[in-house]
Structure 1
């Protein structure tokens, strides 16, 4: 998939654990792991809104596109 989710970087920059972040966003730590590991097939706008609100960022800070030939292997 050519969409990369940069949650690891954002959580590290803000000093948040996955558990703290999951509680603030209102989803399970398991679902955060799915997002962080690039296994998500979709993200609801309400979830993206909660992520951005919690992290104080824009959607483009969370999601980025890279061409398929540059996508890191998971």
Structure 2
């Protein structure tokens, strides 16, 4: 099996939380996911995200998916 290639997606959750004065714990509670899972996303270690989670994050941060995620190519 070939080695896994690193993904080219960058998460801007830190910046969005800071701009909104919200903590990771507060967002986790509002979205219904664990702080650990959001931390994995925030630190660019996530390999996948459910559309339902992405939608909930965007709803709570009042943003679009492109505000949260971008390609670092």
TM over 0.5: yes
Counterpart residue number, 2:52: 46
Instruction: With the length of structure 1 as denominator, give the TM-score of the two structures.
Output: 0.88
Q: Matched residues in 2 for 1:18 and 1:65: separation?
A: 23
Deviations 1:34-73 (A, max 9, x none): 0011110000000000000000000000000011xxxxxx
Q: Looking at CA atoms only, which structure, 1 or 2, has the larger radius of gyration?
A: 2
Shift >6 Å, 4+ stretches: none
Q: Does 1:63 align with 2:69?
A: yes
Q: Does 1:18 align with 2:24?
A: yes
**Aligned to 1:51, what secondary structure does the other structure show?**
helix
When the two structures are aligned, how many residues end up with a matched partner? 67
Q: Matched residues in 2 for 1:34 and 1:24: separation?
A: 17
The unaligned stretches of length 5 or more in structure 2 are 1-6
- What RMSD over aligned residues (CA atoms) do the two structures have, in Å? 0.6
